[in-house]
Amino acid sequence: MGRRPKLLIVVPSGLAPLWEPWLREGPFDTLVHERDAYRREGIDYVLSFRPPHGFLATLPNLKTVFSLGAGIDAFLADPALPKTVPLVRFVDPQLSTEMAQYVVMHILLQHRSQREFDTAQAEHRWAQRLLARKTSDTRIGILGLGEIGTMAAERLRDLGFAVAGWSRSAKTVAGVESFAGEEGFAPFLARSDYLVCLLPLTDETRGILNAKTFALLPKGAYVINVARGGHLAESELIAALDSGQLSGATLDVFATEPLPPEDPLWAHPKVTVTPHIAAISDPAVAARFVIEGVARAERGERDPYTVDWGRGY
Ligand code: NAP
């Protein structure tokens, strides 16, 4: 019988038991970094979210690294990341569904003026009125038409919104207008009453939600950032909200998490803050994804969700 491969869980201390029970049926032995004794040469696979910088480079026989999240920017931030080892990111329709729910909910809260009805209720005031803007005239722009962005675009399209997406390559998604590349950026922004960021964080997309971008949106546009805090220039967002260029923002992700108590975003009247909860990877589903990934790697096949180092996602 051949040697059983070894998978190492590298997550912040104490969190490994979330995944361990689900990995038991995998075709490998599971070990936990900082808890179990192991030889670094013996590790074949790693499952991780934010590995300590430099750590992965100390495992000489690593075959594949599995990310526990859809975004892999925390791996790319490691200057010693071994790029000869494939990095596979987590893709799960359930996660994409929950992300789409978050986006739909926050757009509907604004579109249906729900916050104002909450205030009216608190004042016992009957504030009946028509929708501020027809749904079919309400233009939504999704930055990033990937796994999650496409699902969000389709759900919003099904609700009757005028939806467009911006990506690196042009897309064909029924009922969703496609804009691509640098030349597509300004026309895409000019027609977006709501701008939703669902891009990966890369050298090209860092800081993309900035004053220049906000100025290209229609006056009074609403911004939702559900991708990464590094996409947003926070002080430029606050300036655009205060000038009225933007009517509001919903933010799930921040440059520093947890968001420090003194951060001005907490108390800004036009900002909704949530604590990076738009979607959280389900450990049972993530473990199944890893088990299938290891089986695929052992067969010598390339995983379809392997990160392309050149693109950075
Ligand atoms: P994905 O499938 O890799 O899609 C990325 C999309 O962005 C693609 O359409 C890609 O274009 C586009 N893109 C990338 N770089 C671009 C550039 N420079 N210019 C134009 N378009 C560009 O990623 P995903 O699975 O949808 O995930 C998106 C992000 O969501 C993740 O990276 C993560 O940061 C975030 N996320 C957040 C949470 C949360 O709880 N808040 C949870 C899960 C994920 P092409 O299609 O042309 O390649």
Q: Which residue blocks in the chain are alpha helix, DSSP H?
A: 20-23, 73-76, 93-111, 114-122, 147-158, 181-190, 211-216, 234-243, 283-298
Mean pLDDT of the chain: 97
The count of other CB atoms within 10 Å of the CB of residue 8 is 27
The CATH H-level (homologous superfamily) assignment of domain 93-273 is NAD(P)-binding Rossmann-like Domain (3.40.50.720)
Q: With a 6 A CB cut-off, is 230 part of the ligand 1 pocket?
A: no
Q: Which tens digits make up the pLDDT trace of 204-213?
A: 999 999 999 9
Q: How far apart are the first and last CA of the chain?
A: 37
Q: With a 6 A CB cut-off, is 90 part of the ligand 1 pocket?
A: no
The count of other CB atoms within 10 Å of the CB of residue 29 is 16
Whose CA is closest to 127, among 137, 115, 112, 117? 117
Q: Is the pLDDT of residue 150 over 80?
A: yes
Q: Which atom of ligand 1 is nearest to the CA of 89?
A: 25
Q: Is the pLDDT of residue 54 over 70?
A: yes
Q: Which atom of ligand 1 is nearest to the CA of 165?
A: 9
For range 37-44, the mean pLDDT: 98
CA 146 to ligand 1 centroid distance, Å: 5
Residues of the chain with CATH 3.40.50.720: 6-92+281-298, 93-273
For a pocket test of ligand 1, which of 95, 167, 172, 276 has the largest count of ligand atoms closer than 8 A to its C-beta?
A: 167
CA 198 to ligand 1 centroid distance, Å: 5
CA 310 to ligand 1 centroid distance, Å: 15
The answer to whether 74 touches 81, Cβ cutoff 8 Å, is: no
For a pocket test of ligand 1, which of 199, 250, 281, 309 has the largest count of ligand atoms closer than 8 A to its C-beta?
A: 199
Q: Which tens digits make up the pLDDT trace of 250-263?
A: 999 999 999 999 99
Q: Which atom of ligand 1 is nearest to the CA of 278?
A: 40
CA 200 to ligand 1 centroid distance, Å: 4
d(CA 74, CA 14): 19
The domain made up of 6-92+281-298 is a member of CATH 3.20.80.10 = no
The count of other CB atoms within 10 Å of the CB of residue 276 is 16
Q: Give the residue numbers marked as catalytic.
A: 228, 276
User: Can you name the residues that pair with 64 across neighbouring β-strands?
Assistant: 45
Q: With a 6 A CB cut-off, is 146 part of the ligand 1 pocket?
A: yes
Sign of the dihedral defined by the CA atoms of residues 185, 234, 95, 85, in that order = positive
Q: Which residues contact 175 (CB under 8 A, 6 or more apart)?
A: 154, 157, 163
pTM: 0.97
